[in-house]
A and B are shown apart, each in its own frame.
Chain A
Amino acid sequence: MTAEWPLRGSTLRERTATAVADPVLRANVGAATDRFRAKRASAMARVHDPDGLRSAARGVRAGILADWAATLEQLVDNLQANGGQVCWAPTAADANAYIASVARRIGARTVVKSKSMATEETGLNEALAAVGADVVETDLGEWIIQLAEEHPSHIIAPAVHKNRHQIADTFQDRAGMVERVTEPTELVAFARRELRRRFLEADLGITGANLGVAETGSIVLVTNEGNARMVTSMPRVHIAVMGAERVARTWDEADLVLGLLAKSGTGQSLSSYTTVISGPRGEGEADGPDELHLVILDNGRSDIAGTEFAEMLNCIRCGACLNVCPVYRQTGGHAYGWVYSGPMGAVLTPLLAGTAVHDHPDGAGHDHHAGELANASSLCGACMEACPVEIPLQDLLLGLRRRNAEHAGRAERALWRAWSEAWSRPGAFAASGSVAGRTRRLAPLLARLPGARRWAGGRAMPDLPARTFRQRWDAGEV
């Protein structure tokens, strides 16, 4: 998988135009997000006071991150006492180098991966390919995307933009499917056979981590397919890559977070498998890895702490905000241009852009357009209402827009300053009203002006009255 992330060489407008011109993508993303939303609503209706739980979870996450360093240290000490090994990785490059060194040491030929956004972020697959390992994504959606050399379009349903016929094409062209099948059950059966073989032959298994629990030194993995269980049972070495903020101090805290995760993401009470890994193969156990490694990834996260955007670190990557976002539902994930999409992506990507996007092996450097992602929002606030840890995403998006405005060009700033000055004076304000009234017939012309055409194209012009309110007030009409 070597395709470049599009964030580097394109603008949000260009990517959005491509996305909305694809009828399959729009239909699939629309149907999928509708379904996720309905299932989430019914899962939340089955518990008492879901809003109170979300608010409590927000407080819990904030409390953990106020105690972040000590929590990480306890997690690591306990995991080591359980026989695990740890790598502190300040950057994506550090994480990739460590994992590649383990792969080289054990002579790994086949590497099986279960879904991990953190390793998408670091570009791990490219780094492992460079040391000669054959890397296989084993989440069905991720495998489809890997075969098609595309990028995930939804953080929990990576292939949501493809339909069964496109998937059958991919399996025929890239996975050696001889007899073409298009029924979902048959496509899944094909993938099961192919990937089962890879699980059994793999030397190295790589997972993400939904949560690290400090008090027992445990890593929690949540899947429906069971691929994370395969990846952590079959190969002789398991490496988990965890975003440094994905921790809980106690099982009480972990219980609340896990209790909201599946309900928010897929609308299940619990996912099929909630796996708690606390060490390598235990004494007397017939399977499991000889080595367990936890890679703790910073990659720009610590830069977010202590800023007005600190609550973004509370995110548990459930995907609920994507499903309710009126922008995401029209564009799907690719329009966001990098690993994360939807409202959480529109906030996180610009925040990580200073470091993570920079250091990505694609070389997405100075010319990325991450900041403009904050404009991919109507600020309707549906994201905060769906968020299981109540991140005030719309406030954070506004904050990013403010940050962008502070770096706006001189001409734009001068224009806004002039406008603000003018409207601070009663005379100038009154004049602007009557000017607007007199120019109302010019409004249709606006739509033809080169600079304003794109802006005016999708909008209905208001019909401005000939006389302003103040003129009518003075005349005693109101």
Chain B
Amino acid sequence: MTEHGDRAAFLARIRDRQGAPGAGGPHPPPPPPDPVPAVGYRSLDGLEPADPTALLPVFVAALRAAEATLDVVDGEPSDDLLRSLVEAYEVRSAVTSAEPEAVALGERLRGLGVEVGPYDREAAAAADLAVTSANQGVAATGSLVVDSATAGSRAVSLLPTVHLCVLPLDRLVAAPSDVLRPQQRPMPSARVVITGPSRTGDIEQRLTLGAHGPVALHVIVTC
């Protein structure tokens, strides 16, 4: 049984009352706008929204503002870069998402002595590093769109201590509206727009990274 409670009665109660105007008062509401406007980010002013190369500097700045770090590389990341990341984050173990870019990067890391495996809950919870790709990157907010269908799981980018995301430049779009409005159908069971590492300000408003998810997010943009 997929439905509980009395749908008809619940909706009848609402239908009886909906649509009446709110507080007329001194501040009457405007009519619904058509089309619905999108948030326009000043950082995108003068840029061609379909040109990933033009968007890249905006993406870089927004990622940094969101406490993430990144490298921009031509072609594949070098062994030196990967080695420096392994050392900086003290990576001994990693899990990879199902995305081909992530699996390929995992192979490279294995070559550097990291113990690499596919996602499973226990392995991911114990791993130092998550390696994923992303469906899209969002320049204005420095966000990454990761979904459970292409990544193969919901929590691969969540459980390990550090999240490493490899993003081909041509997947860069301008604003959140470019990913939220044209949602692809059918929807994956879970899609997440990731903007920086996990954080909390719940103790004295002090920004603290790594509340429950990754303490660090590093992005490699491949051009």
Chain A interfacial positions (CB closer than 8 Å to B): 28, 31-32, 35, 46-49, 52-53, 55-56, 58-60, 62-63, 65-69, 72-73, 76, 80, 82, 84-90, 94, 98, 138-141, 144, 157-160, 163-164, 167, 184-185, 187-189, 191-192, 195-196, 199-200, 216-218, 224-227, 229-230, 232-234, 244, 250-256, 258-260, 266, 268-282, 284-288, 296, 298, 302-303, 305-311, 384, 390, 392, 395-396, 399
Given A216-B183, A309-B23, is A188 in contact with B141 using a C-beta cutoff of 8 Å?
no
Interface-side segment among B73-81, B82-90, B106-114, B208-216: B208-216
Whether A288 lies near B148 (C-beta < 8 A) is: yes
| Neighbouring A residues of B30 by C-beta, 8 Å | 55-56, 58-59
Interface of chain B residues 5 through 44 with chain A (CB within 8 A): 5-7, 9-11, 13-27, 29-33, 35-43
Whether B206 lies near A53 (C-beta < 8 A) is: no
Q: Which of A62, A72, A157 contacts B32 (CB 8 A)?
A: A62
Interface-side segment among B49-57, B127-135, B166-174, B197-205: B197-205
Q: Which of A253, A259, A272 contacts B195 (CB 8 A)?
A: A272
| Neighbouring A residues of B15 by C-beta, 8 Å | 69
- Given A184-B203, A225-B211, A255-B38, 9 other A-B residues pairs in contact with their CB atoms under 8 A: A47-B42, A67-B19, A69-B11, A88-B7, A139-B202, A230-B158, A232-B190, A233-B154, A269-B141
Given A188-B203, A200-B125, A225-B211, is A60 in contact with B32 using a C-beta cutoff of 8 Å?
yes
Given A90-B13, A225-B213, A227-B212, is A288 in contact with B154 using a C-beta cutoff of 8 Å?
yes
Q: Confirm or deny: B149 has a beta carbon within 8 angstroms of a beta carbon on chain A.
A: yes
Q: Which of B10, B37, B119 contacts A56 (CB 8 A)?
A: B37
Interface of chain B residues 137 through 179 with chain A (CB within 8 A): 140-143, 148-149, 152-156, 158, 176-177
Closest 10 CB pairs of A and B: A63-B32, A226-B213, A88-B5, A306-B17, A225-B211, A306-B20, A259-B39, A311-B22, A278-B187, A141-B202
Given A58-B30, A62-B22, A227-B212, is A233 in contact with B4 using a C-beta cutoff of 8 Å?
no
Q: Which of B32, B155, B183 contacts A251 (CB 8 A)?
A: B183
Q: Which of B18, B193, B211 contacts A69 (CB 8 A)?
A: B18
Q: Confirm or deny: B62 has a beta carbon within 8 angstroms of a beta carbon on chain A.
A: yes
Given A56-B37, A88-B6, A224-B200, is A395 in contact with B205 using a C-beta cutoff of 8 Å?
no
A140 to B16, CA, bound (A): 41
A273 to B185, CA, bound (A): 21
Residue from B35, B148, B212, B213 whose CB has the most chain A CB atoms within 10 Å: B212
Whether B36 lies near A76 (C-beta < 8 A) is: no
Q: Confirm or deny: B92 has a beta carbon within 8 angstroms of a beta carbon on chain A.
A: no
Given A69-B18, A255-B38, is A195 in contact with B212 using a C-beta cutoff of 8 Å?
yes
| Neighbouring A residues of B10 by C-beta, 8 Å | 88, 90, 296, 298
| Neighbouring A residues of B181 by C-beta, 8 Å | 251-252, 255
